[in-house]
Each structure stands twice: as structure tokens, then as C-alpha cells.
Structure 1
Amino acid sequence: MKKPWAGLTRLRPGSVARAEDLLTACVRECAGYVAALDGETDRKRARLVASIGALVAEHTAHEPSADASFAALLEVGRRALDAGEVRLARRVADASVALRSRSKGAWRLRGQALEALGRDVDAAAAYERHLALAGGDGEDIALRLVVLNEKRAALVEAGRIEPGLGLEGRPPAVARAAMTGALRQRITERGAADPATRKLAEVYGTYSRLAERGRASDPLLGGTEPIGVGQFRQQVAGRSVCVVGNGEEVAAGGHGAEIDGYDVVVRLDSFQLHAAGTGERTDVHAVSHRCGGPAWRREVRTRLVFGEATHQWQHAVRRRLVPGAQEFVGDRTLRRPVRDPALIGESGWAADAGTGFQIVRLLDFLDVSSRIDLIGLGLPGQLRAEEQQWVTARAKGADGLRIALR
């Protein structure tokens, strides 16, 4: 049976009758969506159904308002996007553009729907049309255009590294799944140290961050910039790094001046500073989602928050991160580096590996630092037994509290 939507985008609103036909067909399509629902719906779909009901009521009113009907149509499109009904949103957007070709809201909706479908080139064209109608006023849409360009660049780079993936024009979830599969295969066949594998992991991290969060700053972060593995790699590349453990023995160890002499100083969880023993500088704070306390308030350049589950990481970032206390915060691609199949991908370690081991294993995996030393991590209670065995097996030497990993 031919769907009522067939051919809608070919209609031209050259007359009131044609516009009425187009809107009526659109309303029927939306009503058909409701009729096809089977059983209970979740909250977002319930809102979509309610918006469709409002559209039908407005369209069938005794004296319907064209403006009110059009506004209701756009609301259906927005609710469809929110509920994950992207194809319905796309059809509503196409009808909206055909009904009112100079509607900023219609072109914005069309861009959002096309972007969700992975059609970034067409989405960019829709966003540009929105900006033209808005007279250039639309900072959020201008930012979306930047994100689209960066996403496309990431996909092109991934295709260069792994020819045949065919990522362009595919929905973000499909593109990410394809890159994840390619990474797993590369790690299995070539190992994590392979330069092309590492580059693909960086590209994957960049694309994932842009697809999930874009570049818009989260007001809850107080201007903090989220970074992925590629940006963190740049922060430690060519630099000497010291990872400092916690505890009284470290505080009394007298390594303060030595620690402050490294290019990058990494501290863990609820660290405390004792100038003579621990030094005073902190460049990177690696912290578990479980950890609380005043260390979150200490000013650092970069804060990496670790959490096995996404909701754990999100809760810690939103509830514990102190605005202004850091310039950069690790994004989702850095929340569980050891077990993440798209990064290091070593699933044999315990869930929620220790904070010290997570950051040490990440630094070792990146393999770009001129020197990696661990101060106090060989002490009892700093690492789990299996983590300590890994460090001991790879250590280049040890001197008191200091273990040289590079």
C-alpha cells in the first residue's frame, strides 16, 4: 500500500489548496504513526504522541489557524527527534520546508534530522539556509556547522587508515560501531602499539565526542573544555611524567623537589600536598567516580574522571566537578581506558580498575612521554596484586619509592 507521505516533497506550496493537501497528508502520516504503536510507550514517545494529538486537533478545528497548525507540526518534528523517530522527523521537516520555505525553524529541524541520519553534507546545507534566513544570528547552529565539518574530517581520516569502512553518510551509531569493529580487529592482528591503530583510536575518540556532545561547552563545567585521547596525548607527548601515589610514606619520602621538576605531575584520587615529600605542582588529577573530598577543588590543568559505567562518569562530572578548578576534563572516551574496546581494550582486568593503574596503563599505551616514573605506587595498598605484577614486569628500574617505567 502506498504511504500517504509518498511524493510529499515534490509538492510545491503554490496555492492554498496545495498547502492544505500537503499539511493534510502530513497529519495523516503522523496519525498513522500513532495507530501503528503497539502497547505501552516510554515517556519520550508519549510526548510525541501528545504532540501529534495537538496537531490533529488544531488541523481539524472548526476554524483552524495556519500558524498554529504549522507550529504544532514543528513541535511534532522536535518530539520525534527526541524520541529517536528520526525518519518521522525527517518527513515532518521536509513537509515543513515545503509548506514554508522561509521558516527558520523548518530548516533547523531538517538539518537536525539529516544530521541524525548521518547525512552531514545535506544537514550542513540546511543549517546554512537557517543561518541565511536568520541573518547570521544563530550561534548554536554555527557551532553545529563546525561540528559537522570536524566529524566529516574524522570520518575521512578513519577511511584513510582503514579503507573500505564506508563511513560517510552513515548514522553516527553505525559509523561508531564500524570503527569499534575495525579497532578490535586491528588490536587483535597488529597489537595496540601499532601506530595506525593508535591513530584510529584517536580518530574514534574525536568522532565519538563530537557525535555525543559536540563542541558546545556544558554550563555545569564552568568553561572547562572536554578533551579526548588525542588531546590528552598531545599534553604528555615528549614530556617527562611523574605519577605520585598517596599515603604517609610518600609524604615523608622527601621527593618533593624531584617531583616538581617533572614536566607533568599526575596525582590520584583524594591526594594531599606536603611540599617536602610530595611537591606542590599538579598538572593532571586522575580520580575515580567514587572518590569525594577536597581534591576536586584543587586547581589543575586536566582532570580525568574514571568510571566503568556511563552513568557513574556522568554523575561524578556533573555533581563533583568544581567550575573553574580545571581547564580540561576527560570526556567519555577516557572514562575507562583500560577496558574500553575502542582504546586499550584489555577486558581481563577487574571492572573499575584502580585509578593509579588506569592512568599508568594509559600513559604506557600512548607511549609518547620521554620518561614515566611512579613515586610510591609500589607501596602496599597502592595497586591491586595483578596491577602491581604488571608494573613490576615492565619496570626499567627502581630506586626507593621511585619506579621507572620509561
Structure 2
Amino acid sequence: MTNPLAGLFRARRKEAATPALYARGMRLCGEHLAARGDTSTPRQARLDQAIGAFAASLDNPSADSFDALLRVGEHALKADGDSGLGLALAVADTSTRIRQRSKGAWRLRGLALDGLGRDPEALESYERYLSLLQNTDAAAEVARRVDTLRRRRACLEAAAALFPEDGSALRGLPGRPTAAVEPEFAAYVRAQVARHGAGDPAVRRLVALYSGYRRLVERSGMSDPLLGGSTPIGVGDLRGLVAGRTVCLVSDTGALAGSTLGAEIDRYDLVVRCDTFRVRAADTGERTGLHAVSLRGDTPWEGPAWTQSAGVRLVFGDPAGNWRRAVRQRLVPGAQEHIGDASLRRPLDDPALLGEDGWGTGTTTAFTVLRLLDFLDVSPRLDLIGFSGPGRLRPPEAEWVMDRATHVDDSKMRIALR
């Protein structure tokens, strides 16, 4: 006979265990801080603030201690190298014990294990995270990491099968940390080349598998390298796409709320929007012919994917390595028809293009794309809408715009440069 009180007793035992788990989380934070010493960086300072917020939440009935603990783990991922990853993993393990169906906790665990090179465990955590999601489209980056880890394992398994008599040296590698796999895989390849010669078909296949594995270690694979048919374009191509078309650059600062300018905006041939924009049909219009975005921060590839539909997407950023990685990781197949190539990644200070001194790296995205379109000088009409108030552009940028404005219509928040 089923005991009707069994469920209640289990729930009470679980509630009693939770304070102990939060105490464990606090102890982990304290041990990490004690081991770290006095060194501090901006990322470590943000981690310290997250730990402080978590500590304060434990004595505040209205605070969400679970979310505060997850934030500690998220900041730990980005701070202190392996010690930070170790704290993130410990926090994730504690979080999954507090809430076994927490999507955030399983994602954190996967990221920490991934960073530590523990591929099989990371794969299990990522798969658990995806299984808890209602909409897997929201986790495109995690799905890509899962695909990457599976492809890395497939490379090792295929390599082990090429020389059955020697393949035992590779068969145990898929379960080991990446840092241990790479040198052993490389040594195995060198040994087979020496034994069978570089011209042997199986050796050539082995080298190809090793090269594929190394690429997948360096960066995540792309399920669709052609991005759904998106066409890379350079300066000349962009000029051809803009030539003869009326253009408006639309602000997304909230200035257009209640403006009812949406229909008028959509009548332009090319509507340009910047960074993370919101579309309200009545006020901002619905069309996006060109989306420009600037990369910010030390790890710009970690930002959200660019899912907004656009005819052309221009990504501004430097250095080149960060730009390439961000483009690979944040572009979404089918979300754009054209994507700007490396010749368009820093138009203001590229001597091959504008090469203008004095703007620095902190220009707003809106001014960068406006200056580029003005330089191309192929549009019969180039307007800004919603940029007339303070704060939409930086003072030197606003001064540049007003010096060249041919007409200002305050009633429609329009500044015309043509």
C-alpha cells in the first residue's frame, strides 16, 4: 500500500538539505577567494561582487539565492583561468543538486567542463540542458558545441579504426581531457607517418582526421559554413547595393515611441538599424535592409546570436581575430542575405577605405555606418530619424552631422544629409 505521507517526507528532507547546499556554495566561494590572494582584475572584481550578492541573499527572504549562486558561476567562468573554471564547476554541481531540472545549472556545468577540456562530461551536461528546453532554437550555441564535441569524438574513433593493430593507443582518448588527447594524437600520427610513409592512403586519411580534430579544438564547428546562402560582400558590392536608393538610419533609443512614423520609415528603399534594435510597426517601421553592429568587450564572440532578419549585415570590430571568431559564432544561417567581409570591419580607421584619424575605437555604431554610407556617396537621400536629441550620438559625431545637414525637421525627428 502506498504511504500518502511519503511524498511529504521526501519534500521536507529536500527542504532541509537545501540550506546545507547553499552553505556549501558559500564555503566554495570563500575557499576560492582565500586561495586567490590579493590579485585583482576587472573580471575578478565582478566575480567578487557576485559572491557578495550571493552572501547577502542568504539572509534575505525576498532574494533569490539560487539565481545569485548561478551568477557566481557565470562570472567564475570568465575569471581566474582554471581556478575560476573549477569554482564554476563546483557551483554548477551544487546548483544541480538544489534544482535537478534547472536549465541554467546544467548549461553552466557544461560550459565549465568544456572549458576544462573534459569533453565527455561536458557533452552529457549540454545534452541534459537541451533536453530541458522547450525551444532548442534558443540554445543554438550550445547545440553547436554539442555537434563540435561529437565530431571531435568521431575523428578520434575513425582514426583508431584506420590501423586496427595499432589503434588501441587511440581508443581510450575520447574519454580523456582535451589537453591530454592532443599530444598523444599528434604522437600517434607521427608514428604512423614514419611507419607507413606519407603517401599511404590510410596515413593521408589519418592526417586529415587529425587536422579536422585540431580545427574543432581551436573553434566550434559550423553546421552550415555557407550560412544559408549568405553572400560575403566588400566595399564595391555594398556600393552597388546602396546606389540610387533612398536611405534612412533609424534610432532605437526610445525616441520614436508614439511617433507613428513607422509607415513613413518603411517607404525608404533601405532602412538601416544598429546593434540590438526593437521593431514597433507603428513607430519604427518593420523593414530592415541593413543591420550594423559593433563588437564590444574582450570576448565579443560570446554575445547573443544575430537572429534579426536583414538584407545586409555589417559587423564592425577589431582586432581581426576577435572579429572572425564573433562572425563565425554569432551569425545565424538564413538571417541575412549579405554579410560584410573583412574590408568593412573597421571603415573609419582603415587606410584603404576612409582612414580618418581622430575618431578612435569608441565611435557609435550609428555614426560608423552613417559615415560609411556618406563616404560611398551613391544615395540620393540619406536621412537620420530619431537622432536629434542629446545622447543619441557622441558630441563630436553630432557636430559632424549638423555641420553637413541640409535640412532638419523637428516635427518628424529627421535630419537630412542629402
TM-score (norm 1): 0.48
Give the TM-score normalised by the residue count of structure 2. 0.47
